[in-house]
Amino acid sequence: MQFALTPEQKMIQKVAREFAEKEIEPYAAEIDETGEYPMEILEKLGKLGFMGLAYPKEYGGSGAGYVAYALVAEEVAKACASTAMTLGGNASLASLPIYAFGTKAQKEKYLVPMVKGETIGAFALTEANAGSDAGNQQTTAVLEGDEYVLNGSKMFISSAGIAHTYVVTAVTGIVAEKGKKIISAFIVEDGTQGFTFGKKENKMGMHGSYTRELIFEDCRIPKENLLGKEGDGFKIAMTSLDSGRIGVGALSLGIAQAALEEAIKYSKSRIQFGKPIAKQQMVQVMIADMATEIDCARMLVHRAAWLKDNGMPFTKEGAMAKLYASETAMRCASRAVQIHGGYGYMREYKVERLFRDAKICEIFEGTSEVQRIVIAGQVLK
């Protein structure tokens, strides 16, 4: 069993760490405070090739794989989780379905610029009545001549309003004998007539990652923007989420690692009862637990990424990685705040932001409860 990173992966990790420390970390607090995302950081991530790590060179990527992508996502998230969230939405969740199910023409038109970081992609599945119950879609797409007409809305969509390309699921029919909805997936370009956005959501955390509603009112898109075949939409969504969970696991790792490093730094400098609180046994217990859980989470994330890179099934492992890493991020952020005491509750300290950013990791791309359902289903089948 090999736990060591390859020389290429180590180099990618080093470049990502240096970039995050120099180009992202100094602006992270401002991004959180203003909620305005500096697009120049995304452009630089694209130029470094970090948007295309998981895709082959023929589509503008490097073919470095998902382990490399997980390393980059962790380093970026350690500096700014909002930036890592936007990176993941483009580099994994939106790009993967086009790569896996798109035609050659769709890949050349939409995937290549996304992989190069020239455009941003978003993935739109969630609706008001279709959260964990993703099959309960209400948005419809009706074929009229050479166009599909979309009507409905999507909510809680990351990068909405700044993305250029959207992968959108919609109902295209009903299986009469079963009453089951036929769900298909489409590529929708920003600026298409009948496609607008709702308000920017005011969230607990991840302030630098835009979240808005997508609204479709007689939105006409060419039929060649159907992704895969009619009825493939649910399969496309689940395939995308399987891979996306690796990204969320890596993002969660970055938050957890940042929380640990902040807790160590503060505990060594904070003097109480005549000595640094790092000398207090209860603080040491919290730090030891954080370090152990982060290592466990990292192994789960890297295993899932390795399985994907090697063409092996990873649905269960991806769900385990997302579940454990996200809950580890929440626990570590909470402990870091506790170690900081009253200061940890103040916004000038990074751990306060980490705590707020961590919570969504237990919710989006499948809640912790959904991950346990997925895991149990794989174990019991």
List active site positions: 365
Inter-residue contact 335 to 261 (CB < 8 Å): no
Name the DSSP class of 20. Answer: I
Angle between helices 66-79 and 7-19 (to 10 degrees): 20
**What is the secondary structure of 79-142 as a DSSP string?**
H-HHHHHHHHIIIIIIHHHHHHH--HHHIIIIIHHHHTTSS-EEEE--BTTBSS-TT----EEE
Which strand (E) or helix (H) includes residue 353?
helix 350-359
Rounded alpha-carbon distances, angstroms, from residue 238 to 7, 132, 369, 379 = 32, 12, 16, 18
Residue 333 CA to chain centroid, in angstroms?
Answer: 18
C-alpha–C-alpha distance, residues 381 and 369, integer Å: 18
Q: With CA atoms as reference, report the closest residue to 222 among 114, 145, 123, 113.
A: 145
Report whether 111 contacts 157 (CB < 8 A).
no
Burial of residue 379, with CB atoms counted within 10 A of its CB: 0-12 exposed, 13-18 middle, 19 or more buried: exposed
In sequence order, what are the beta bridge partners of 214?
A: 154, 197
